[in-house]
Amino acid sequence: MKNRYFSMLSILVILSLVLAVPVSAKDNVGGTLKPGEVVTFEQKVPINIVFIGYDKKDIDKQTILNELPSTYAPIVRYPPFYGIPGRDMGLKFNFDYNFSFKNSDFSKKFFNYMKGIGVAGNPTVFQTMYNDQLNNVLNVNGPVLYIDAPSVEKWLAKNLENQKGYTIVFINWYNRPDFKFHVYTKTDEVDPDTGYNFGAIRDSRKLIAWGGSNSRLWFYDLSAGPEAWTNNWNVDNLDFDGNGIEDYRMPPIWEYSAGGFRDPSALSGDLGLVTRFVGIDLLFTTSPLYDPMVTAPSVGGDKIIHVSMLEDDPTSLGTDWIDPALVKSRFTKFEPYYDWQTNVVDHNPIDANAQRAFRIWGDLLPENDCWNDYFFTFAELFCYFDQNRATYIPDYGNADYVAGVYAFNTTADNLGSQSGLLGFADDNWVDGTQSYVFEFDTEDYRSIGYGFSTTTIHEAGHHFGLSHPHDGYDSEYAFDYGPGDFFNFAWSGDESNTIMHYMDLSTQFGQFDQDNMYRYEMAGYLNWSNELVANILATPNSKSVKKNIEHANEYAGKAVEGFNKWKYLDAASNARRAYEELSIAASQLGLSTPSMNMMRMMPNPNVSHEGDPIRFPDN
């Protein structure tokens, strides 16, 4: 996607500043709320770094440690693109690193298991492309083993006993006498609309890493591949994309050699980079793209995904390519403490005004419209549908939160300059608050596997807060990054179990998604409760809602207990209950409930906007 930029205008920021008070979560045991305070819930997080098949003399633990952070404090990522500090999430993680090298008996058992479940086949297209490089140190010869990644994750989680916290397993099968060239696969989920099995069909979806299915473990195997996703099959070109900056990537383990792509001394540092900028920053303790609390329904309200299907192709019907029940089921499983609805309304055919906005957005209709206020045509869908929201999104209950999704069943030609784009979860173009979801499907897209359902789940996941596993924020360095140039290796974060990756191998939210979202909402609801209970106690009639306050304290105590025990679903569920109790009390007293402090300003011209494209459309 081309980035969209617009130039600086005058800015007026209305900010409400509050002091964050760092408090250990353990100080809150017993359910005692802290009226008026914004609490930072801290947690000690063990990070286990396990080596299988690596010789201790080849790994410098201190070099790895030098790359690693001491702490992580998540922020909301999108407001900083507008020059606004990302909201402190009220969370801080303090890391404790533990290194272990598995002995020869364990390694033998593990690699025998790998051989036992592997299925022999020809080298992948990308292994063959590696063989065709001028500077490769060896050729990948068949037969190659195709090994089921979720099975390996499950085996490791079971056999690496007493691994509290999060675990990264670095695997090296190379140089062992029983070594087999291999890749990992995930083939147990197909696209629910098209039946297309990306994991089985596409060589670009063959893996060197995986994790987060039903464990807090992620493995990374440089003796697998080479692969497409991180471009590590290419050992001829440092600047893979030709933009004048080296695309830093970790080559196959045998390329860490004299005359290879990387000096052997770089191995430990590279593994440290993967641990920090993929494992920790993108998977284990990542930051949300948008603020999850913006989408919190009021007491008694539902979370609603309202899909307006805009039929822009008279030869097909978009409603044939979306399963609203599946979409609802994925979010119900993900956040069961909410009541969910997914509703689809078919606009057949697309109305003339929406079609005009769509053509302007795709640069097919060179006309002025609301996009001029934002300087680029990419804003046209946001501004048109925002101005005409009532035309497409009906009134729901006042307590509901409604995510507006606009699904265009169209053609490649009608997408114009945006052909190849699957969708994007837009912000409001002024302060980085989420606004609407826009998504696209065509007969061409469906021929290579894409229906509307997985795009809806993915983009709504962004709307409710989740980031990709290939881009994120580093807390100590205080910068945001994506998978390009020095951080090209961040693409490996996609090799994890989540609908939020680009690999199309999962239709669900994985363990890492769950951990992060539940922690965000636990801290968010408890701090809202702290604000609300202070307001309640300041009223003359606060004694009339004493029972509500007591119940809220009980739920808050259970939330903190769940957080401390790493039972994050319990933590989020009970934090929500605490807030609901206080909201009921506030209503009885005629008080308003807390909400996000919305920041309003003129459009900021320096923010890039882009969507989620199809990666490797030809493979």
130 close to 144: Cβ distance less than 8 angstroms? no
Interatomic CA distance for residues 535 and 544, integer angstroms: 14
Q: What is the pLDDT of residue 405?
A: 98
296 close to 63: Cβ distance less than 8 angstroms? no
- The secondary structure of residue 265, as a DSSP letter, is G
Average pLDDT, stretch 435-462? 98
Quote the tokens at residue 610: 């882009």
Average pLDDT, stretch 368-386? 96
Token look-up 């209305």 returns: 14
Q: Where residue 597 falls among pLDDT bands split at 50, 70, 90?
A: very low
In sequence order, which ranges of 256-379 are alpha helices (DSSP H)?
267-274, 324-334, 352-361
pLDDT at 377 over 60: yes
Quick: pLDDT tens for 479-505: 999 999 999 999 999 999 999 999 999
Quick: pLDDT tens for 299-322: 999 999 999 999 999 999 999 999
Q: What is the pLDDT of residue 339?
A: 98
Q: What is the pLDDT of residue 7?
A: 29
Average pLDDT, stretch 122-129? 98
211 close to 48: Cβ distance less than 8 angstroms? no
Domains of the chain, start order: 103-284 (no CATH), 292-464+609-613 (3.40.390)
pLDDT at 530 over 90: yes
Average pLDDT, stretch 87-110? 96
Q: What is the pLDDT of residue 594?
A: 72
Quick: pLDDT tens for 261-286: 999 999 999 999 999 999 999 999 99
Q: What is the pLDDT of residue 21?
A: 42
Q: What is the pLDDT of residue 612?
A: 80
616 close to 202: Cβ distance less than 8 angstroms? yes
477 close to 436: Cβ distance less than 8 angstroms? no
Q: What are phi and psi of 50, to 5 degrees?
A: -110, 135
pLDDT at 14 over 50: no
Q: What is the pLDDT of residue 604?
A: 57
CA 604 remoteness from chain centre:
25
Residues in the chain, total: 619
73 close to 478: Cβ distance less than 8 angstroms? no
Interatomic CA distance for residues 482 and 480, integer angstroms: 7
Q: Which residues, in sequence order, are CB contacts of 294 under 8 Å at separation 6+?
A: 433, 434, 596
Across the chain, mean pLDDT equals 92
Q: What percent of the chain has pLDDT over 90?
A: 88
Q: Where are the beta strands (DSSP E) in 53-159?
A: 71-72, 91-101, 119-121, 144-148
Average pLDDT, stretch 37-48? 97
Quick: pLDDT tens for 197-214: 999 999 999 999 999 998
Quote the tokens at residue 309: 């299907």
Token look-up 């003129």 returns: 602
Quote the tokens at residue 525: 């609801």
Quick: pLDDT tens for 155-203: 999 999 777 899 999 999 999 999 999 999 999 999 999 999 999 999 9
Average pLDDT, stretch 327-333? 98
451 close to 193: Cβ distance less than 8 angstroms? yes
Average pLDDT, stretch 123-136? 98
136 close to 262: Cβ distance less than 8 angstroms? no
